[in-house]
Amino acid sequence: MTRGMTKRRAVRPRSSDERAPKLFIPMSAREMELRGWDELDFLCVVGDAYVDHPSFGIAIISRLLESLGYRVGIVSQPDWRNTEDFAAMGRPKLGVMVSAGNLDSMLSNYSSPGKRRARDDYSPSGRPRRRPDRAVIVYCNRVRELWGDIPLVIGGIEASLRRMAHYDYWSDEIRRSILVDSRADLLLYGMAERSLETVSRRLSQGQAARDIRDVPGTCWKTHDIAGIDRENGFVGISSFDEVSGDKRKFAEAFKIFYDEQNFASGRAVAQDQGAWTVVQNPPSLPMPPQSLDAIYSLPYARAPHPFYGEEKIPAFDEVRFSITSHRGCFGECSFCAISTHQGRIVQARSTRSILREAEILAADPDFKGYIHDIGGPTANFRAPSCEKSVSHGACAGKSCVFPKFCGELKISHTEYRDILRRVASLDGVKKVFVRSGLRMDYILADPRGREFLEELCRSHVSGQLKIAPEHASPNVLRLMRKSPPEVTVKFIKIFREINERLGKKQFLVPYFMSSHPGCGVDDAFKLAEFMRRQNLRPEQAQEFTPTPGTVSSCMYYTEIDPFTGEKVHVPKDSKERALQRALLQYWMPKNKQTLAKDQDPGAPPPWKQHLLYFLAMRSQR
């Protein structure tokens, strides 16, 4: 046990914390006592600091359980080296829920090159190393050590994206389903409110967790492989042993898994993991606006638990005065996990619910009049892509926006613009900004898109507008499932024209990515040249990191496009990745050494010419 952990457990609520039981989910036996509880129904274990705000998964899950009448406690960032923190509130009556937090723990702990991160935004004061690697597995092992066969349910993004055999970048290997490695009974994937409500009710009725096998949005496991009857709608994919030894089989299995993520037509997917077979049930039904409104109207304290005293939680500061308007995204970018986590169906809150939350923010004593964001995964994807998708789900094997927009796609910014206007008109609100990323091609495809963009620039841009072109090479953009570079050029031109006419000095913040599958050095030079021509100099640059559950991660591991079967160049060599990363910010002095290094003699001849050109350009500016 570390000195820091010991000090942390010794903290007792200060006098102001006597209000904590009324405002927060209990985090200690003392808070249980103040509520008159001698036992919990459910204990939630999480790798993040406990912030009671709807941007934090632990707040939504615990508040939902509370609203259903259960007594809930939270163990936040426990010392995983022993069971003491886990046992602090006693054995719960119905079960334990485990999540790594808002991010996969490996992504929280390590950067793309595999270095330990010096900061964790979901921890007090941003301190790192407050959660273990592979947090779900570690936490579950401690729970099993402490309470044996207690019902154990896992969820959150780490569990969700690792629900079947998956490639793990940090160990460079295929790993079994996290449901098997964690020894949990059930896995809830996706946003999970619907499945959580059903599972918690079944447990309260006395059903064994291992026998809950029919709930949408869950994964379960069985030893009885023969009992998984293909005639009952299951589809089998290649086993763990097969996908571990054959990259093509991994790509084929991933495509089946990906195509079955449809709440209306998707089949249960079964995969032999060795001792166990894991079965993924079809996704939960999307939540209608009234259900989503109810989730966001739960009595969140909208603050970190008083346990943390004056310490700040950096992630909370980022979202404190922001509003989530919807979930899901039909954009299907290859490198994004939203398709396999939140889903391709946009689930939106009502305008009334958003206005109500804005009124709550405006009443906060610390509110300065500025709402920092109203948006979601893609801010201007406010509604489902088409009417058919609401009842039938997203089309398997077809994209709404790639390689071109579907003829059934509904394109409109009217409702989103109305929300921005109405929130901005509320008493106490000075400005409403949009910080979530915007889909440029969707704006350009809207007959009134230029009008929408002009209103954004006039009233809702705080000097910078985020866009995500990601690359400029047509080949890389095709594998990313992104729009061609001409779209970015057109959008930049219109944005600059509008701001010049408005007399505003505002800038685009473009997100570009290096070393994505399919990106060779020549492609990286095309991107650098594109940025130079468009006068774009992003201060932040992103190196592709394969995270479980994405199309791009499948391509990274297999070097195969799972949708076409074609071979894909994957930049895995550290020198090539460093060069591509440096080219994203070729003008920076810190990249001079990387760009000036003598390249491999076997490299294509254009390399040195390009390097000399960029070095010369930088020296002139």
User: Are 14 and 51 in a shared domain?
Assistant: yes
| 355-395 tens-digit pLDDT | 999 999 999 999 999 999 999 999 999 999 999 999 999 99
CB 278 within 8 A of CB 405: no
Q: Specify the pLDDT at position 516.
A: 98
CB 300 within 8 A of CB 59: yes
Helix/strand/coil for 393: coil
How far CA 229 is from CA of 187, 211, 240, 269, 270, in Å, comes to 21, 17, 19, 11, 10
Residue 285 CA to residue 505 CA, distance in Å, equals: 45
Residue 261 CA to residue 268 CA, distance in Å, equals: 9
Q: What is the mean pLDDT of residues 343-348?
A: 95
The last residue of one of the domains, among 435, 452, 473, is 435
Any domain includes 266: no
The last residue of one of the domains, among 419, 435, 451, is 435
CA dihedral 485, 491, 497, 501 (to 10 degrees): -170
E strand or H helix at 220: strand 218-222
Chain-centroid distance, C-alpha 367: 27
Look at residues 490, 511, 332, 484 and name the one whose alpha carbon lies nearest to residue 409: 332
E strand or H helix at 513: strand 507-514
User: Are 175 and 53 in a shared domain?
Assistant: yes
User: Are 399 and 545 in a shared domain?
Assistant: no
Number of domains in the chain: 3
Residues with Cβ within 8 Å of residue 324, at least 6 apart in sequence: 54, 55, 296, 349, 375, 376
CB 549 within 8 A of CB 341: yes
Residues with Cβ within 8 Å of residue 589, at least 6 apart in sequence: none
User: Are 27 and 140 in a shared domain?
Assistant: yes
Residues β-bridged to residue 86: none
Residue 50 CA to residue 74 CA, distance in Å, equals: 8
Residue located via tokens 């804005």: 358
Residue 266 CA to residue 501 CA, distance in Å, equals: 50
Radius of gyration of the chain (CA): 25
Q: What is the mean pLDDT of residues 517-545?
A: 92
User: Are 421 and 494 in a shared domain?
Assistant: no
| 403-413 tens-digit pLDDT | 999 999 999 99
Q: CATH no. for residue 530? A: 3.30.750.200
Any domain includes 35: yes
| Residue 530: domain span | 463-615
Q: What is the mean pLDDT of residues 516-531?
A: 94
Of 397 and 511, the structure prediction assigns the larger pLDDT to: 511
Residues with Cβ within 8 Å of residue 340, at least 6 apart in sequence: 160, 161, 258, 261, 549, 550
Q: Specify the pLDDT at position 22.
A: 58
Q: Is 365 exposed, middle or buried (0-12, 13-18, 19+ CB in 10 A)?
A: exposed
CB atoms within 10 A of CB 293: 18
Helix/strand/coil for 464: strand
User: Are 472 and 423 in a shared domain?
Assistant: no
If pLDDT is split at 50, 70 and 90, which confidence band does 612 have? Answer: low
How far CA 394 is from CA of 397, 406, 495, 551, 554, in Å, comes to 9, 12, 32, 17, 21
Q: What is the mean pLDDT of residues 329-341?
A: 95
| 244-295 tens-digit pLDDT | 999 999 999 999 999 999 999 999 999 999 999 999 999 999 999 999 999 9
Residue 528 CA to residue 579 CA, distance in Å, equals: 11
Residue 530 CA to residue 533 CA, distance in Å, equals: 5
Any domain includes 453: no
The last residue of one of the domains, among 435, 452, 477, is 435
User: Are 93 and 170 in a shared domain?
Assistant: yes
Q: What is the mean pLDDT of residues 213-232?
A: 83
DSSP annotation of 116: B
Look at residues 57, 71, 43, 7 and name the one whose alpha carbon lies nearest to residue 308: 7
| 393-451 tens-digit pLDDT | 999 888 999 999 999 999 999 999 999 999 999 999 999 999 998 999 999 999 999 99
Any domain includes 503: yes
Would you state the structure tokens that stand for residue 308, as one six-digit string?
């943390």
Average pLDDT score, the chain: 91
Q: CATH no. for residue 417? A: 3.30.750
* Whether pLDDT at 559 is above 50: yes
Q: CATH no. for residue 111? A: 3.40.50.280
Q: Say if residue 403 is preceded by a cis peptide, omega within 30 of 0.
A: yes
| 449-464 tens-digit pLDDT | 999 999 999 999 999 9
User: Are 488 and 394 in a shared domain?
Assistant: no
- Left (φ > 0), alpha (ψ -120 to 50) or beta: where does 548 sit? beta
Q: Specify the pLDDT at position 11.
A: 31
Q: Specify the pLDDT at position 605.
A: 44
User: Are 409 and 476 in a shared domain?
Assistant: no
User: Are 328 and 179 in a shared domain?
Assistant: no
Any domain includes 37: yes
User: Are 200 and 348 in a shared domain?
Assistant: no
String of DSSP letters for 261-322: --TTTPPEEEEE-SS-EEEEPPPPPPPPHHHHHHHHTS----SB-GGGTT---HHHHHHTTE
The amino acid that residue 282 corresponds to is: P
Any domain includes 296: no
Q: Specify the pLDDT at position 587.
A: 85
| 6-55 tens-digit pLDDT | 333 323 333 334 445 458 999 999 999 999 999 999 999 999 999 999 99
User: Are 16 and 163 in a shared domain?
Assistant: yes
Any domain includes 299: no
E strand or H helix at 494: helix 485-502
Residue located via tokens 């921890």: 123
Would you state the structure tokens that stand for residue 567, as one six-digit string?
């071979």
Any domain includes 227: no
Q: What is the 3-state secondary structure (H, E, C) of 539-591?
A: CCCEECCCCCCCHHHHHHHHCECCCCCCECCCCCCHHHHHHHHHHCCCCCHHH
Q: Is 362 exposed, middle or buried (0-12, 13-18, 19+ CB in 10 A)?
A: middle
Q: Specify the pLDDT at position 617.
A: 54
CB 27 within 8 A of CB 40: no
Look at residues 209, 223, 269 and name the one whose alpha carbon lies nearest to residue 42: 209
| 127-185 tens-digit pLDDT | 999 999 999 999 999 999 999 999 999 999 999 999 999 999 999 999 999 999 999 99
* Whether pLDDT at 616 is above 80: no
CB atoms within 10 A of CB 519: 28
